[in-house]
Structure formats: structure tokens, C-alpha cells
Amino acid sequence: MRVLVTGASGFLGGHVARALERAGHEVIAAGRAVPAGPRRFVRLDLARPAEIAGTLDEARPQAIVHAGANPDAGACERDPVSARVVNVDATAAIARWCAAADAGLIFFSTDQVFSGEGREWNETDAPAPVHVYGRTKVEAEDAVRAAGARAGRACSLRVALAYGFSPSGVRSPVEQVVSVLRAGRPYTLFTDEFRSPILADDVGSACADLLALPELPPVLHLGGPERVDRLVLGRAIARAFGVSEATIVPCRRADAGMHYQRPADTSLNSALAGRLLPRRPRTLAEGLAALAAGDGSGVGVIGS
């Protein structure tokens, strides 16, 4: 299948593009800057939603994995107007084009759509975001729904906190924890903020598996099998990469000066994904061991 991937220059989009190619798809990367390498590329700026349909008319993908976004919650908080254009208006334009062309759509949403006052959220739980980033993703999910795609052709994939190697070398919690601890600098980790981390390569595989289904579910949760707090995650990363945990500083959220509200517990219940998809995300131990052994199926090596 000819699949256009937005955000292919980024962390998760890069893993998606490689997983789709492994599955035999023809991948078209869509983004702002021409990437190195032989992959077909089309210029597509999410900050210019009015131009998106024309670009897609030319590229004529049979499916789109829309992973491009402004995923930086702090940046969204500082500039909500731009965040809305990139995260909502661009998604709406892509969803409308897919509905009109009957192309499949996997839209990358997030666990951050939930309030955090609960745990192991289901697809049927009501989103109640506490920050701008989360609100833009909920509005984008609404836009995907409103675009009127044929049943089974569009999916809002709510991805949990992902770990792995990223092209920038700084996007993933693995890269952040290892580089700070290796430098012997303090790293504050919350004991009361819970996520269900998933290996980025497994997110890519899940997208390939989703595209092979006869029908996409309208909403799907995709997290790893464990609910852990940030401290447990950080310690597991340190152990897997053999770096000292001595400068880890356990902390409660209330004791940290947070610049904006963050949801406390956005752990996802991914049972539906477990039933629909043939491959299961790896456990934290399995995923970290694969990365430490250099088998993250992705780019990047953590600098010393």
C-alpha cells in the first residue's frame, strides 16, 4: 500500500515509517525539510492547513499515518494559537481529504487527553484534558470523527508515553535519563505520576498491523503492559543502560514547581489493541533490554 507518513522526521513517525517499510508498504514521508535517504518525500507544512489537500491530491496515498504535530506540551501552553493550527486544523484537513478519497487514516492522539484523575483509561472513558496540548488532541479527534469517513477507515490512536531512540537524540525518556545520569547531574523523577510506557518500535509495528486489519477501530489505546510511575521508569532505564542511579531525586508532584498542569495518571488500558492486533507491545524489561543491546529497530545511540 502507498502510505503517507507525516512526522516521519520525528521520533514516532520515524519508527512508523521503518515499520511500514518492513511490512512491504511504499512510504511517502511528508514534512517541512527534505530528509537524507532514498525515501520518497513531499513537502507538507502542518502550519499551512489550506495547502494540505493540494499536496495530498498530488501524492495520492491510499492511507495516511498522521504522526506530525507539535507534541511539546510546554510549547503548546506558550503558543496555543499556533498549537491549534498545527494540531487541530491540519488534522481536520487531512481527515477531510482521507474521507473524500476513501483513504485509511491513523491519527496519532495521546494518553494526555485524560484528566489524570483515574487509572488504566478505556477507549469509552470521557477525555477531559488539563492542558492546551491535550485539548488540541481532543479537538483533533473530534475533527477526525466529523470528517465523515466511511466506517472502519479512520482511527484516533491514543499512544502512551513512548521510549526508544529518536533522531534528535533528546525526545525519548531513555535518552533524557541516560544522558543526565551519565553526566552525574541530578534528575528529578515523580513518584506519583503514572504512565504505561511503550517501546517506540512497537508503536510502529502496531501501525503496520492496524493497516492490515479489514476495519480500523474509531479509537484505540496503545500502551505498554505495565503502569509505572516516573521514578520506576527512570530507575529501570538506568539499570538497563548500566548508569548510576545515585543522582536520581525522587519527588512528589506537589513538591515540584510545575509551569503548567499535567495529568497525574494517564495509564492506558490497551486490552482492545491486544484483541485486535497480532503483536503485543514488549514489557518494559524486554523493551529496555532490546534498546541496550542496540536492537531498538531505530536510529540513534545515546552519547556518552
**Site residues, ligand NAP (CB under 6 A):** 7, 9-13, 31-33, 44-47, 67-71, 86, 108, 110, 159, 161-162, 166, 171
> What stretches of the chain show up as alpha helix (H) in DSSP?
11-22, 52-59, 73-78, 80-84, 90-101, 132-146, 173-182, 200-211, 230-241, 271-276, 284-292
C-alpha dist (Å) from residue 228 to 25, 58, 174: 34, 44, 15
Q: Are 165 and 298 in contact (CB under 8 A)?
A: yes
166 versus 205: smaller Cβ distance to ligand NAP:
166
Q: Are 217 and 33 in contact (CB under 8 A)?
A: no
Closest approach of Cβ 240 to ligand NAP, in Å?
A: 18
Vertex 194: Cα angle to 12 and 76 (nearest 5): 50
As a whole number of Å, the end-to-end CA separation of the chain is 40
- CA 294 – CA 301 distance, rounded (Å): 8
9 versus 297: smaller Cβ distance to ligand NAP:
9
Closest approach of Cβ 246 to ligand NAP, in Å?
A: 27
The burial of 71, by beta-carbon neighbours within 10 Å (0-12 exposed, 13-18 middle, 19 or more buried), is given as buried
Q: Are 215 and 173 in contact (CB under 8 A)?
A: no
**Would you state the cell numbers that stand for residue 191, as one nine-digit string?**
513518584
Closest approach of Cβ 46 to ligand NAP, in Å?
A: 4
**Would you state the cell numbers that stand for residue 247, as one nine-digit string?**
543522582
Closest approach of Cβ 194 to ligand NAP, in Å?
A: 14
147 versus 156: smaller Cβ distance to ligand NAP:
156
Closest approach of Cβ 25 to ligand NAP, in Å?
A: 18
Closest approach of Cβ 73 to ligand NAP, in Å?
A: 9
6 versus 181: smaller Cβ distance to ligand NAP:
6
45 versus 247: smaller Cβ distance to ligand NAP:
45
167 versus 247: smaller Cβ distance to ligand NAP:
167
Check residue 36 and report its DSSP letter: S
Closest approach of Cβ 106 to ligand NAP, in Å?
A: 11
Give me Rg for the CA atoms of the chain: 18
Written as one letter, the residue type at 153 is R
131 versus 247: smaller Cβ distance to ligand NAP:
131
120 versus 247: smaller Cβ distance to ligand NAP:
120
Phi/psi of residue 109, nearest 5 degrees: -100, -160
- CA 18 – CA 32 distance, rounded (Å): 19
Closest residue to ligand NAP: CB criterion:
10
Closest approach of Cβ 142 to ligand NAP, in Å?
A: 16
